[in-house]
Structure 1
Amino acid sequence: MIVLQVIPGLETGGAERTTIEIAQALVNAGHEALVASEGGAMEAGLTAVGGELIRLPMATKNPLTLLNNAARLKALIRERGIDIVHARSRAPAWSALRAARAADVKFVTTYHGTYNAKSGLKRFYNSVMARGDRVIANSEFIRDHIVTGHGLSPEAITVIPRGVDVGRFKITGEVKRRGQDLASDWALPGDRFIALLPARLTRWKGQLVAVEALGRLKAAGEDVPVLVLVGGDQGRTSYSEEIGRLISRYGLENDVWITGHCDDMPAAFSTADIALNPSIDPEAFGRTAAEASAAGLPVIVADHGGAREVVEDGVTGWRTPPGDPEALAKTLQAAMELDIAARQVMGQAGRQRIMNRFTVTSLQSSTLRVYGELLE
């Protein structure tokens, strides 16, 4: 079996990581894995697992280039004997759909996000992701979104959640040592409760909600955790500055750390007592919440989107109303009042939930099963 995945680039992100994980599974099963993409920082990872990059301008939305890409993909399908084309993003999906239909091969899509659909034209543009011979959703939330937005029946959609490498996020002695080095580099206080919020600094990820929650705890004279914002601003300096102003407004300079990007998230999680995912817009899946759970941390998430499927309220963490700093403050206070043993029980329940439902191995086997069923 030869499978061609199409995606705009391989710089960073969940869809990009999943592309490489499926390429790895294909190669390990004795198949061929091709990826049409502009490439990027993660392309070395694709090569390392035995996948092959076909460098094409797949990020474009230019109609003429889309047509040219379709012609090139059609030729590639016939030249290499490709059996399945799997699209993971809208613009390249239009080229891939045209090529797959012309070459009479199976077409698969994975719907990775909610996508903006405020106009009829945008809804039509998005609809390509619902036109596969098999349509995959990366959470039940996204499945329901496809049903509502495109009129597909739930039975026509296969839910395959994103996967976490649970081995990588197991907090071993070596991971703890790396975490101690990180804590030293970040100058984290060793005698305070640490709440880690891992996300790039962008408004919808909810950093302002978390800072506001700390501000309300401080204003009420309650204990305040150390909030560690782990993530770069990717040039969004105005948002970083807004976070800084809110920190100053509440006098939280000794309570909020902004570390920038971190490549070693297992070590980062090992420094914390709890993780936060207070996104104000719904997450398609909730990868950072799943990774934190895999690391054995209780997690507080906003109660919407795919994160609701990751965290079992009161068992593996807590779910709070989106965009509600008062509710988040109260939940943080409740978390801090738990003793260490109770938090460990909650964290281990979270890790077990991830191992049962959201592993990379499950993602890979389920996707290859879809491929196999299409070719029967």
Structure 2
Amino acid sequence: MKVMQLLPELNSGGVERGTLEIAKALIQQGHESLVVSNGGRMVAQLEAEGSTHLTLPIHKKSLSSLWQIRPLRQLIQQHRPDIVHVRSRVPAWLTHFALKGIPASQRPHLISTVHGFYSINRYSAIMTQAEKVIAVSDSVVQYITEHYKNCPPQDIVRIYRGIDSKAFPHGYQPSVQWIQQTLKDFPQLEHKFLLCLPGRITRLKGHETLIELIQQLHTQFPYLHAIVVGGADPKKAAYLDELQRNIQSRGLEHQITFVGHRSDIREWLAYSDVVLSLSNQAETFGRTALEALSVGTPVIGWKRGGVAEILSSVYPQGLIPVDDQAELIHVVQHHIEQPQHVAPITQFSLQDMCDQTLTLYQRIVSSS
């Protein structure tokens, strides 16, 4: 098979990682893999693993993106993929118009993946208008069936995102050199109970909840320290400043450390004592929570979305009723006083995700 995946850019994030994982699986099984995006820092890895990257500016939510319809149509006609797999709304709309200009007998099959709880409108509906619509969790299946009645339930295929347990092995510990370097860079972390909030600096990730939590607990547990692992996009610099002013006004600057964008997320998750998932909107899946549990670090998070599905399956004692600050404090307290054990995880594997996706591709191609 020849499969063309489309997404806005290849910098960081779950959509991008999932694209690379499927691309790699296609190559390993002897298929051809093409990825169309505006480029980014993950292109080198994609190409090193055997895929072809085709650069096209399909990332902007603006009318100027319509100029990319014809170049995209030419790419599809030139490469003649069996399947076009769209993973985001702008690329999905451009693909929709590009395919209209190709004779029906020559069009590739169209698959979409709904990675997010998008705003409910005509613009988002394009993600549910494909031959098969992959939903990344049961929460996403429910979102589609409730809000997009034109999408037949039999066309929705739930394929959980997955992680490579060899990349996040149970009981993993960072190297001595990593720990030494980290304590050199951040000496304030030594001999502390570390609460980790991973994720980009945005209003969605629950940083205010973390600050409130530390405010409530730091007197009782002076060795408690929070680390925020994730960078701030230049557009979010004002929000980062706002957070830091909030922390200083409460006198918590010695209790909370921002470590910025990191490529060593596995080490930070393993080095932490507890990982938090406090997003103020439901996560469609919750890959970082799963990665933390995979290495054996307890995760405490709100009972909603994909994170709740993961925790319900593998670490139910980490589930907190949504926005119940008192229960959050209580459960974190319990984890500090009585460190918890996380059993090895067998569900949500990368192998399962890749196998199920490639099986779906083959089923669609062979049906024609």
Give the TM-score normalised by structure 1. 0.88
Contact 1:109 1:132 in 2 (8 A): yes
Matches of 1:189 and 1:39 in 2, distance apart?
36
Contact 2:172 2:296 in 1 (8 A): no
Matches of 2:263 and 2:231 in 1, distance apart?
11
Q: Structure 1 residues 174 and 288 mapped into 2: Cα distance closer, same or farther (>3 Å)?
A: closer
Deviation (angstroms), 1:111: 0.5
Pairing 1:116–2:106 present: no
Residues 304-341 of structure 1: CA deviation (Å, up to 9, x unaligned): 111111113893551223344333212211111214xx
Pairing 1:182–2:182 present: yes
Contact 2:80 2:108 in 1 (8 A): no
Contact 2:136 2:160 in 1 (8 A): yes
Pairing 1:373–2:363 present: yes
Aligned twin of 2:271: 271
Q: Structure 1 residues 169 and 314 mapped into 2: Cα distance closer, same or farther (>3 Å)?
A: closer
Q: Structure 1 residues 100 and 365 mapped into 2: Cα distance closer, same or farther (>3 Å)?
A: farther
Pairwise CA RMSD of aligned residues? 2.2
**Structure 1 unmatched ranges of 5 or more:** 118-122
Amino acid at match of 1:252: L
Q: Structure 1 residues 245 and 60 mapped into 2: Cα distance closer, same or farther (>3 Å)?
A: closer
Deviation (angstroms), 1:30: 0.8
Residues 267-326 of structure 1: CA deviation (Å, up to 9, x unaligned): 112321111111111111111111111121000112111111111389355122334433
Segment of structure 1 superposing worse, 229-238 or 283-292: 229-238
Matches of 2:338 and 2:198 in 1, distance apart?
22
Aligned twin of 1:120: none
Matches of 1:228 and 1:362 in 2, distance apart?
32
Amino acid at match of 1:292: A
Aligned twin of 2:237: 237
Aligned twin of 2:44: 44
Pairing 1:258–2:246 present: no
Aligned twin of 1:158: 157
Matches of 2:173 and 2:292 in 1, distance apart?
17
Amino acid at match of 2:293: S
Deviation (angstroms), 1:375: 1.1
Deviation (angstroms), 1:39: 0.8
Deviation (angstroms), 1:192: 2.6
Contact 1:135 1:156 in 2 (8 A): yes
**Aligned residue among 342, 354, 357 for 1:364:** 354
Q: What SS does the corresponding residue of 1:275 show, helix, strand or coil?
A: strand
Pairing 1:147–2:150 present: no
Matches of 2:265 and 2:5 in 1, distance apart?
27
Contact 2:172 2:295 in 1 (8 A): no
Q: Structure 1 residues 77 and 162 mapped into 2: Cα distance closer, same or farther (>3 Å)?
A: same
Matches of 1:332 and 1:321 in 2, distance apart?
14
Matches of 1:205 and 1:20 in 2, distance apart?
24
Pairing 1:337–2:340 present: no
**Structure 2 unmatched ranges of 5 or more:** none
Amino acid at match of 2:83: I
Matches of 2:186 and 2:62 in 1, distance apart?
44
The residue correspondences of 1:29-178 to structure 2 (distance < 5 A) are: 29-63=29-63, 65-66=65-66, 68-100=67-99, 102=102, 103-117=106-120, 123-151=121-149, 152-170=151-169, 171-172=171-172, 175=175, 177-178=177-178
Q: Structure 1 residues 373 and 147 mapped into 2: Cα distance closer, same or farther (>3 Å)?
A: same
Deviation (angstroms), 1:109: 0.2
Amino acid at match of 1:318: G
Pairing 1:248–2:238 present: no
Aligned twin of 1:13: 13
Matches of 2:127 and 2:216 in 1, distance apart?
43
The residue correspondences of 1:305-344 to structure 2 (distance < 5 A) are: 305-312=305-312, 315=315, 317-339=317-339, 343=340
Aligned twin of 2:226: 227
Deviation (angstroms), 1:241: 2.5
* Matched-pair identity in %: 33
Amino acid at match of 2:307: A
Contact 2:113 2:127 in 1 (8 A): yes
Q: What SS does the corresponding residue of 2:208 show, helix, strand or coil?
A: helix
Contact 1:298 1:317 in 2 (8 A): no
Q: Structure 1 residues 313 and 26 mapped into 2: Cα distance closer, same or farther (>3 Å)?
A: closer
Aligned twin of 2:22: 22
Q: Structure 1 residues 317 and 165 mapped into 2: Cα distance closer, same or farther (>3 Å)?
A: farther
Q: Structure 1 residues 41 and 371 mapped into 2: Cα distance closer, same or farther (>3 Å)?
A: same
Contact 1:114 1:145 in 2 (8 A): yes
Contact 2:299 2:315 in 1 (8 A): no
Pairing 1:4–2:4 present: yes
Deviation (angstroms), 1:202: 1.2
Aligned twin of 1:202: 202
Matches of 2:132 and 2:86 in 1, distance apart?
11
Give the TM-score normalised by structure 2. 0.90
Aligned twin of 2:298: 298
Residues 226-250 of structure 1: CA deviation (Å, up to 9, x unaligned): 1111112223233222322332343
